[in-house]
A and B are shown apart, each in its own frame.
Chain A
């Protein structure tokens, strides 16, 4: 079981009580991956969501047959958050670039079920997901100048 203090590095758990963190952590599985492992693939519908606990991943998008690196995500960062919001396919491919990379892996539908069961917790979780998306957007805007 991942310690609550380590999980709190991730904005996903911002403003959560210890009990809230524990409820979400109970849905997750800890995984250790190696460089070159692909966590999610652009266009697929597997509904995987990850939190990086240690290590680094690269976010890549393929457009017109060309794959391009968008950014790197390290400890505390969320992967697959867009599919959590819109239930659509993954918008990018995410590849591990550092060994070891330790992750918390979630199933999107299990997280959504928890949000449905507990609207207060669901509101907090979705607000934090929105904040994570907002931070990534701000990062992107500053990256292109």
Chain B
């Protein structure tokens, strides 16, 4: 079963970054919930080449609250 180790980064908010492993990859446009906050995925790139079933991704996300405000 694949594992996606994902680096989530919020531009201009370096202390909101999150690293976690998940079973499905994030996709552009997805809504992800990190610590009860909702973010929209803006970009997903391979941070490193995959190693077997392990994939290393970097996702740039933006807070949804900011869009509404």
- B58 contacts which of A77, A142, A144 (Cβ < 8 Å)? A142
Nearest A residue to B1 via CB reads: A5
Chain A contacts with B in 54-101, Cβ cutoff 8 A: 56, 68-77, 97-98
B35: chain A residues within 8 A (beta carbon): 56, 72, 97-98
Interface residues on B, range: 20 to 34
> Could you say which residues of chain B place their CB within 8 Å of the CB of A72?
16-19, 34-35
| Cβ-closest chain A residue relative to B47 | A138
User: What per-residue 1/0 map shows which CB atoms of B48-64 lie under 8 Å from chain A?
Assistant: 10011010101000000
Interface residues on A, range: 20 to 34
Residues of B within 8 A of A15 (CB): 51-52
Known A-B contacts A14-B51, A15-B52; the reply to A143 vs B3 at CB < 8 A is no
> What CA separation (Å) do A81 and B66 show in the bound complex?
35
* A74 engages B14 (CB within 8 Å): no
Which chain A positions have C-beta within 8 A of B27? none
Nearest B residue (CB) for A9: B21
CB-defined A-B contacts under 8 Å, sample of 19: A5-B1, A14-B54, A56-B20, A68-B15, A69-B16, A71-B15, A72-B17, A72-B18, A76-B3, A77-B19, A77-B21, A97-B35, A98-B35, A135-B5, A135-B19, A138-B7, A138-B47, A138-B58, A140-B17
- Nearest 4 pairs between A and B by C-beta? A76-B21, A74-B20, A139-B7, A69-B15
